[in-house]
Chains A and B, each alone.
Chain A
Amino acid sequence: MGIRIQNYEWTLKGNGAYVATDYPQALIQNSIFVGPYGNRIEIPPFVKETEFVVIHHFGCSDGILAKPTESGGSLTSWKPNGFVQIVINTTGYYQDPQNTFSGGISGGAAPYPWTITDVPPHYELLPPIYILPEQTWDFRFTMMNDLRDYCANAGITEIPETTILAQCFVQYYLFDGPDALICHQLLELGIPITVDNVEWYKRLLLRSRGLDTQTWEYYLSAMQAYRDRDEYHEKYGSRTRKA
């Protein structure tokens, strides 16, 4: 399985009886992969040396005002006013016009989920982001509506598991094995890395009947050079060869 389209969805749900530390603080960026809130994975995203990742789509919960609803101390709905930043190794992808690290893209610009009544997202990740082997990557979600403060003010005692507080979604292509090598080749040639282009390059390789064209050309030129040198030595009676 050389080329796979992958999805990751992060959901922050209620955790039953309310404990403030179960939920993220406002303005603090948390990883959607290995952060302390919501569903998580054990190991931070890391591209192995036989892999290549192309991130091309993401989104997060829409809405600015939280519009909380509660009944009897139980919080039943909440909008996070969220932003998503992408971090590769230690570098943030999004910066504001004054060239400083920003919160990223809002759920209003890149909404998830996207319903039939929504307009198309304003933000598109074009060109996509390439994550090279040995690089780590992360999506950091920031909630700008202060959930902890509201829960303290409103005397919230429970956030049921049916209450979805925030969501994020990431879609990416995972190339591995020989396809990852092709991705590197395309990268060196300055060709955009897409599924189509990788398939095209594979067809090109197949047309060359399995021969590595670069190696073959190098081999031919090396053989030609060797033959030239041989002729030279034959002509001028070299002492270094055919002793």
Chain B
Amino acid sequence: MSLRRQAYEWRNIVPTGTKVSNTGHPILTYDAAGNVQATVQQIDPDRPIDIMIGGIGNNLEEPAELRANQFIVIDSVACWPISSAVNLRIGTTRYFQDPSGIPSAGMTGAAMPFLPSDATQQFTGHYNVLIPPIYVLPGQSWGIEYTATETLNAGSPVPTSDSEIARAYVRYLLIDGADMLVAMKLLESNIPVSSETIQWYKRTLIRHSLMADVASEESLGEVLADLERRLI
């Protein structure tokens, strides 16, 4: 499986008494009245939180870093609520910056909302996909930083609706194995890396291979024609 469409989702909901779930999304339990025994963690304004290892909500045990045989193309990010934003970090560089060149909070939830099912307002967003998409190369570390523009979930309350849960989402194409080599080749040739262009390049390789086979047979014939013939 060399081309796989992946997605990662972050939420700031964790079981009561904890702040982070390092094993991914936590199990949510409910009391007899149907109230969830979990809290949505307070998020202070203007303090970026890494959604993978930031210490709030569902996290990973280690930062996201590509192996030598992996290449990813990030083509969609989204967040909720609309008073939040997400920025991409590759190595130590933030992707979104303000016009003065200083890294900004990033793409806001109003521009690319990750809507909960019970949202009272249906934001459609300005974007569905990032154009051009963002490439993360083999060996690079990357992350998504979530920043609230106002205090969210002050006092870490027990949520009563999905809308109260802060969320972030990233969708990417994971390219590994031989296809990663094709992706690097496309990158060297300044051709956009996508599943379509990778398949196109492979088709081209196959076609060239067929032509090369034919050419080699023809050239072999020419070479043999010049050799002295051996009588049987």
Cross-chain contact A122 with B7 (CB below 8 angstroms) = yes
Cross-chain contact B117 with A108 (CB below 8 angstroms) = yes
Q: Report B164 CB to chain A, min CB distance, Å.
A: 9
B67 at the interface (CB under 8 A from A): yes
| Interface residues in B131-176 (C-beta closer than 8 Å to A) | 142, 159-162, 165, 167, 169, 171, 174
B193 at the interface (CB under 8 A from A): no
A19 at the interface (CB under 8 A from B): no
Cross-chain contact A65 with B8 (CB below 8 angstroms) = no
Cross-chain contact B203 with A102 (CB below 8 angstroms) = no
A161 at the interface (CB under 8 A from B): no
B229 at the interface (CB under 8 A from A): yes
| Interface residues in A60-114 (C-beta closer than 8 Å to B) | 62-70, 81, 83, 88, 91, 93-99, 102-103, 105-106, 108-109, 111
Closest to B161 in A: A65
Given A97-B52, A153-B32: A62 touches B117 (CB 8 Å cut-off) = yes
A190 contacts across to B, CB distance below 8 A? 199-200, 202-203, 205-206
Cross-chain contact B4 with A122 (CB below 8 angstroms) = no
Which of B41-49, B58-66, B91-99 lies at the interface with chain A? B58-66
Given A98-B61, A127-B5: A111 touches B28 (CB 8 Å cut-off) = no
Cross-chain contact A122 with B76 (CB below 8 angstroms) = yes
Taken residue by residue from 1 to 29, chain B's Cβ proximity to chain A (1 for < 8 Å, 0 otherwise) reads as 10111111101010000000000111111
Q: Report A235 CB to chain B, min CB distance, Å.
A: 9
* Count of chain B residues near A, Cβ 8 A: 63
Give complex CA distance A80, B125 in Å.
27
Q: Report A65 CB to chain B, min CB distance, Å.
A: 6
Given A27-B27, A111-B117, A127-B195: A119 touches B124 (CB 8 Å cut-off) = yes
Give complex CA distance A188, B205 in Å.
12
Given A96-B24, A117-B122: A64 touches B165 (CB 8 Å cut-off) = yes
A223 at the interface (CB under 8 A from B): no
B101 at the interface (CB under 8 A from A): no
Cross-chain contact A106 with B34 (CB below 8 angstroms) = no
| Interface residues in B70-97 (C-beta closer than 8 Å to A) | 76, 78
Given A145-B30, A190-B199, A236-B231: A122 touches B78 (CB 8 Å cut-off) = yes
Closest to B200 in A: A190
The 6 residue pairs across chains A and B that have the minimum distance between CB atoms? A97-B64, A190-B202, A190-B203, A150-B30, A62-B117, A127-B195
Interface residue ranges, A against B (CB under 8 Å): 26-27, 62-70, 81, 83, 88, 91, 93-99, 102-103, 105-106, 108-109, 111, 117-120, 122-127, 129, 144-146, 149-150, 153-155, 188-192, 236, 238-240
